[in-house]
Structure 1
Amino acid sequence: MMGGRVTAQHPDKSGTADPPHDGPLLRVEGLVVDLPRPDGAAGDTVRVVDGVSFDVPAGTTVGLIGESGSGKTMTALSVIGLLPDHATTGGELVWRGKNLLRPDTDWRRVRGHQISMIFQDPLAALNPSITIGRQVGEILRRAGRPRAEVRHAVIDLLDRAGVPDPERRMNSYPHEFSGGLRQRAMIALALAGSPSLLLADEPTTALDVTVQARILRLLRSIQREQGLAMLLVTHDLRVVAHVADEVVVMYAGRVAERGPAGAVLRRPAHPYTRALAASVPAVRTKTALADPLPGSPATPANRPSGCAFHPRCPLARDRCKAEVPQAREVAPGRWSACHFAEEVFTP
């Protein structure tokens, strides 16, 4: 049950294999997602993801960070084809050279087998009336695993995910697991289809600090061992600093900044990233005091004109209120969507 790098052949449930592909495993290019407004106004939509672009190279971890309502989860759900039925999309999601947003995409061959997801709330994601072992085993059977091998494979997956005494615990129901064990079961479920990309949506939010650290170490270990790529959705910069190679900072449905995680967190090139980093002392220095980010976050439904961050930005000027800034490269591999990025960024 080993996931492979971009050049590996991964059989899907129909027995075919993913062709080798050069370039990033996933390329998100100008992604847009529109949803009907919550008030139900006919013909009126909200652009919850607005022109988002980034790459996920094979074997790397990319962190999607930002406050609530920034569009992180909607971006991840787009990648795995789990948006609401009433959503409309645009742009490209290029997976192994093929745009997943084309109408002919067979999501059944992608979801769970090439791209898997660990959801924020495992108790809601797991079926309460079916044992953990049967749920993991169903994925294996659909992937074409011989029935005689399924039980041993389930035990192996649960063991890799850190579930103690997996031969016994596979017969347990989700409510019989603690929060940490349920998340480990979700990890086993996500790995069952031998994916190349793992999406993790706030995988440690509901756990206490000690269990969070264990789950993050487990994910990092599995990712390195199996050569998986991972797209990690979180609002916690400390998590990103611990596990991510690249980071994409989102605000009100748009990308504010992207680049190598360590460099972005140490030397931000966008006022929003700088404010986020300042609000978490451990991201900067052990002795710095927290400097809370003022104001309330903008959301796609109430996005200000121009740069959405301008009402909270200490550098805001008239241009920021009128003109949406375009992402530009301010240093090799460093991109910022700020009109005055040079005043923030120090190479």
Structure 2
Amino acid sequence: MTDALEVAGLVVDLPGRGGPVRVVDDVSFDIPAATTVGLIGESGSGKTMTANAVIDLLPSGATTGGSLRWRGEELLRASRARRRQVRGHEIAMIFQDPLAALNPTQTVGRQVGEILRRAGQSPQQVRSRVIELLDRAGIPEPAARLRSYPHEFSGGMRQRAMIALALAGSPALLLADEPTTALDVTVQARILRLLRDIQEDEGLAMLLVSHDLRVVAHVAHQVVVMYAGRVAERGPTSAVLREPAHPYTRALVDSVPAVRTRTALAHPLPGTPATPANRPSGCAFHPRCPIAREVCRVEQPSVRSVGSGRWAACHFAEEA
């Protein structure tokens, strides 16, 4: 299986008061074709910034380094015109807040069809394709919904409209940034099932950004765990969640209650999450780590192989 996207040593710096702040630091992972990779971590871990770097949607003033190879092509060295061509057509994004991402002054049908009109399709072709996309996204009576505005849709329906918009350019890679945030549990399950079905039916590669291990466990084949802008662990989802090789991953797993527990949280993570702006020396997780030792406070661990396609950035991964 070939890799649709290869991320190697990616760094993203944002301007700060005291100089550039490295919000993504030496991040590496691959997304094979027809595979879903989950990118997980607490708020501020760099997940969304990593996804935005892939699709070239970083804030003004941001600088990047490392490598982003899309089907063998280096995107970080591509022209601005080429990156615009990739965005939407080859790589599309499903944003976290569809109400903010969708234009409130335009109908849903017009927004979904925009990329088709720019491609030169006739009005009849655009209308037919938009109805098809809305139907594929699970919106009932799609022909009647063409003239609806985003505020006339429920939260789940708006997210389905976002999915239809993302599929309009026939992309090969979907970036889904917290696609079930603010949705109730039953709607979340339907959206995740829809994304999984689309990924499998269309043979798409997908990067699923989430803070929720349960979401990633149900959808992703591989998982990348991030903390303070760096990769803590990566590998096959079932193996990583069953036997974590990094104390941070273990803490995330333990913080998710089992189905039969009556408590809201099984074992909440202690302490405050580190961020790239206040990253501790050595291993960024050491102030919260139950097995931290002196070397953890002074030496940043490298991401190393821990066997069977597993990688972890921990001095004591075997012990963890």
Q: Does residue 6 of structure 2 align to residue 27 of structure 1?
A: yes
Once the two structures are superposed, residues 231-274 of structure 1 have per-residue CA deviations (whole angstroms, 9 ceiling, x without a partner) of 00000000011100000000000000000001100000000000
Counterpart selection for 1:201 from 177, 187, 198: 177
Structure 1 range deviating more: 147-156 or 54-63: 147-156
- The match for 2:34 is 59
Q: Which residue of 2 aligns with 1:74?
A: 49
1:152 maps to what in 2? 128
Q: Secondary structure at the match of 2:214?
A: helix
- TM-score, length of structure 1 as denominator length: 0.89
What percent of counterpart residues are identical? 74
CA apart distance, 1:148 = 2.5
Deviations 1:64-119 (A, max 9, x none): 00000000000000000000120000000000101110152522210000000000
Matched residue, 1:337: 313
Between the aligned partners of 1:253 and 1:201, the Cα distance in structure 2 is 16
SS where residue 273 of structure 2 aligns? Answer: coil
Of 196, 201, 206, 1:225 maps to 201
Structure 1 stretches lacking a partner, 5+ long: 1-21
Unaligned runs of 5+ in 2: none
Write the distance in 1 (CA, Å) between the matches of 2:78 and 2:158.
35
SS in 2 for 1:277: helix
Matches for 1:255-270 after TM superposition, within 5 Å: 255-270=231-246
CA separation in 2, counterparts of 1:268 and 1:288?
A: 24
Q: CA deviation at 1:145?
A: 2.9
Number of aligned residue pairs: 317
Local SS of the residue matching 2:253: helix
Listed one character per residue, the Cα deviations across residues 199-234 of structure 1 (whole Å, up to 9, x for unaligned) are 000000111111111100111111111111110000
1:244-283 → structure 2 map (5 Å cutoff):
244-282=220-258
Q: Aligned runs of 1:1-347 on 2, under 5 Å?
A: 23-37=2-16, 40-41=17-18, 44-105=19-80, 106-282=82-258, 286=260, 290-344=266-320
Local SS of the residue matching 2:189: helix
* Contact map agreement 1:143 1:193 (CA 8 A) in 2: no
CA contact (8 A) 1:114 1:194 kept: yes
Aligned equivalents of 1:145, 1:307: Cα separation in 2: 53
Number of the residue aligned with 1:13 = none
For residues 136 and 69 of structure 1, do their structure 2 counterparts lie closer, same or farther at Cα, with a shift above 3 Å needed?
Answer: same
Once residues 301 and 119 of structure 2 are traced to their aligned partners in structure 1, the CA distance between those partners, rounded to angstroms, is: 45
SS of the residue aligned with 2:147? coil
* TM-fit CA distance, 1:140: 1.2
Spell out, residue by residue over 1:132-153, the C-alpha distance to the aligned partner (whole angstroms, 9 max, x if none): 0011111112234333211011
Compute the RMSD of aligned alpha carbons. Answer: 1.3
Please list the CA deviations of residues 255-313 of structure 1 after superposition, one character each: whole Å capped at 9, or x if unmatched: 0000000110000000000010001023xx75597111100100000000000000000
Partner residue of 1:11? none
CA distance in 2, matches of 1:179, 1:48: 30
What CA distance in whole angstroms lies between the structure 2 residues aligned with 1:23 and 1:151?
A: 35
What is the TM-score of this pair, normalised by structure 2? 0.97
